[in-house]
Structure 1
Amino acid sequence: MAEGRRATLKDVAAASGVSRATVSFVLNDTPNQTISAATREKVLRVVRELGYKPHGIARALREGSSRIVVLFIESGLEGNYSRSYLRGLDQELSAHGYVLVVRHGPTAPEAAEQVLDAISPRAVLRFGEVYRTGHALEDLSGGWRDGLAAHTALQIGYLAEQGHTEVALALPDEAPLREIRLEFSQLAAGRLGLPALRCLVIPRSRPAAVDAVRAFREQEPAVTAIAAHDDDVALRAVTALTDLGLRVPGDCAVIGFDDNEYGALFTPALTTIHIDAEAHGRVAARELLGLDAAGLSSAPAQVLIRQTA
């Protein structure tokens, strides 16, 4: 690769000894693909070695002729962060004469190709792309300064400030970014001098959630607080604890993440982390268009202190 030239998907494929399709499947974590763990690790290692990065915080898949930008958001990534991010991205693109089209749901290669063939967009972006390239901590969306790592640390840090030392991380059955949230949470706990977080998977069904929380309480009676993957999981935890006759936060505190606004309507009202990502969306738009993003900064994330923690 020529010195100074930005690494491309083709470069990664050549250095890994695999096809570009395989590299794409690995970076996109595409389901139903039989890619061995060794091949996956090799591709990710080459990505890191070559410094392969998408444009900005997402991947520009194609330079189309239209003034349309398409953003894919996987199921499970919708929330306050994505809403405010979309607002900033849309407003910034609109200010420069571009139209944003958002597609929610599965992002299989076939679905992306259908969009490309139908409207030939200027670019196709994938929400959360940075986590599939090995550069999560270098970006606004992942770093310790103003990204997911910092916001996760804020959540765990709040519980530590309240005197909780035995903390559980409540996770959904499956969700995009679940593993990176677990990694960041454990790193945050370590930085605070807390023991490793216990992990609790809380299913969607109310009876199953109650069973899971009951079993966890029996196995980990010392845990006094639960940090949830998001507000949906946090509300499942609060409901299950209440169904078990336990007091929240008296017997166990619960804190959500990403403020879906429903938590404020519950009793007890959910304490959570609120993130303003509008500036992140504006930065993404400017980087995509090759414009200077200096001077854009988001409001700091904050703990919305209510009644559960």
Structure 2
Amino acid sequence: MVTAVGRRVTAADVAREAGVSPATVGFVMNRTRGQTISEATRKRVLAASQKLNYRPHHAARALRSGRNKIVLLVLPDWPLEHSLRTNLEVLTHELANHGYTLVTYTPLADSTAIPLWAILEPAVVVGYGEFSDEDLTDMKSVGIRHIIPEKASAQPSMDFISGPRLQAQHLLKLGHTRLGFARPSDPRLEEFVAARLRLVQQVCDEAGLPSPVVQQVDYRDESAGAAVASWEEAGITGIVAYNDETAADVISAASRQGLGVPKDLSVVGHDDSPLAARYLPSMSSVSVDMESLGMYTAGIVLHHAEGHDLPDAPTGTTSIIRRESTAPPRMH
């Protein structure tokens, strides 16, 4: 809005109308976290801004830039591993083919930064984690209509379930009856580690075998060597590794201790990253078809944004790739 004297409405104008300070207007309009502003004050500022048709400059810039062609992907604080990188590459290219720009954003718990959705006002927001009620309310307050998922049960299907089962079943079919589970040390992966371990445990339970012996490995310390020594002492012959990087740490530690892979210890990774085929010995691993999953997510986005037909969820997206690192256990 332009005032009677020909100037654009500012935060100071809103502050005078609402009877608050310009700083308070900034906190409310920018959704600054960590500020103790009462709900009554917030509503008064929003009412004044609506009356004066005031919009913060960042929102005006977003509107001019064509916000309806922006897709915001909100990622939890995950490490950017091979599978996720592949998924993002496919999703980026497929959306670009339809004129959309993919922007990724990782909100951090201790950050006071303005949420990126409030700055960009994208056409669609996609979350690979569950949104809080506060975040959903905030998105809707800036006019974002397409939020995926709005509820946890509506989350796009991402097949991370069958992989750990395939790892364990592969080792059992080879004749291994005592399994170990190699987990990484990154605390950001804690939920994924727990979920994958549960699945390996289920396979062992179903086969009437002992629980997998869990060890943490980290290439930056001596933990991998200690893990291998512990597994050897316990009679473990097959290792389910969280991912290919963890599998590489186990294989390296085994080699340094004079153990052969797969002669003395079979190791199976997850993700079928380029490392798996290049390593020596080459690593058996679970391949996840992240390209199909990326295309599926893009189809969900285009369904919401443009009314495209709802895509069918991909099936059979995981498979075991057998290479040199796994073999039947050595007969003593």
TM-score by length of 2: 0.62
Counterpart secondary structure, 2:260: coil
The residue aligned with 2:252 is 239
- One-letter amino acid matched to 2:180: A
Whole-Å separation in 2 of the counterparts to 1:271 and 1:231? 9
Determine which of 252, 268, 292 is the counterpart of 1:279.
Answer: 292
Structure 1 runs of 4+ off > 6 angstroms?
A: none
- One-letter amino acid matched to 2:293: H
How is 1:121-132 mapped onto 2 (pairs within 5 angstroms)? 121-129=122-130
Identity of aligned residues (%): 27
How is 1:212-227 mapped onto 2 (pairs within 5 angstroms)? 212-218=227-233, 220=234, 222-227=235-240
The residue aligned with 2:167 is 155
Whole-Å separation in 1 of the counterparts to 2:83 and 2:207? 25
Whole-Å separation in 1 of the counterparts to 2:251 and 2:113? 38
Please give the per-residue CA displacement for 1:167-191, whole angstroms capped at 9, x wherever unaligned. 1111011342221112222223333
Whole-Å separation in 2 of the counterparts to 1:163 and 1:106? 45
Whole-Å separation in 2 of the counterparts to 1:120 and 1:215? 53
Q: Tell me if structure 2 keeps the 8 A contact 1:276–1:298.
A: no
Whole-Å separation in 2 of the counterparts to 1:223 and 1:134? 38
The residue aligned with 1:166 is 178
Q: After the TM superposition, which of the residue ranges 177-186 and 105-114 deviates more from structure 2?
A: 105-114
- One-letter amino acid matched to 1:205: R
How is 1:78-97 mapped onto 2 (pairs within 5 angstroms)? 78-97=80-99
Counterpart secondary structure, 2:161: helix
Q: Per-residue deviation at 1:65?
A: 4.5
Whole-Å separation in 2 of the counterparts to 1:187 and 1:301? 18
Residues 268 and 191 (structure 1 numbering): CA distance in 2 closer, same or farther, change over 3 Å?
Answer: same
1:269 aligns with 2:282: yes
Determine which of 292, 310, 314 is the counterpart of 1:297.
Answer: 314
Whole-Å separation in 2 of the counterparts to 1:111 and 1:154? 42
- CA RMSD in angstroms, aligned pairs only: 3.0
User: Of the two, which has the highest radius of gyration?
Assistant: 2
Residues 156 and 139 (structure 1 numbering): CA distance in 2 closer, same or farther, change over 3 Å?
Answer: farther
The residue aligned with 1:102 is 104
Whole-Å separation in 2 of the counterparts to 1:263 and 1:299? 21
1:211 aligns with 2:226: yes
Q: Tell me if structure 2 keeps the 8 A contact 1:79–1:259.
A: no
Counterpart secondary structure, 2:68: coil
Determine which of 200, 206, 209 is the counterpart of 1:194.
Answer: 209
Q: Per-residue deviation at 1:230?
A: 0.5
Counterpart secondary structure, 2:102: strand
Whole-Å separation in 2 of the counterparts to 1:113 and 1:283? 30
Residues 74 and 264 (structure 1 numbering): CA distance in 2 closer, same or farther, change over 3 Å?
Answer: farther
Counterpart secondary structure, 1:183: helix
Q: Tell me if structure 1 keeps the 8 A contact 2:83–2:273.
A: no
TM-score by length of 1: 0.66
Whole-Å separation in 2 of the counterparts to 1:111 and 1:180? 31
* Structure 2: segments with no counterpart, 5+ residues: 1-65, 132-150, 327-332
Q: Per-residue deviation at 1:296?
A: 5.5
Whole-Å separation in 2 of the counterparts to 1:238 and 1:228? 10
Residues 280 and 223 (structure 1 numbering): CA distance in 2 closer, same or farther, change over 3 Å?
Answer: same
Q: Tell me if structure 2 keeps the 8 A contact 1:254–1:308.
A: yes
Q: Tell me if structure 2 keeps the 8 A contact 1:91–1:282.
A: no
Determine which of 247, 261, 270 is the counterpart of 1:257.
Answer: 270
Q: Tell me if structure 1 keeps the 8 A contact 2:300–2:311.
A: no
Q: Tell me if structure 1 keeps the 8 A contact 2:107–2:115.
A: no
Q: Which has the higher contact order (CA 8 A, sep 6+)?
A: 1
Whole-Å separation in 2 of the counterparts to 1:217 and 1:238? 13
The residue aligned with 2:73 is 71
Q: Tell me if structure 1 keeps the 8 A contact 2:225–2:257.
A: yes
Whole-Å separation in 1 of the counterparts to 2:96 and 2:321? 32
Whole-Å separation in 2 of the counterparts to 1:185 and 1:134? 24
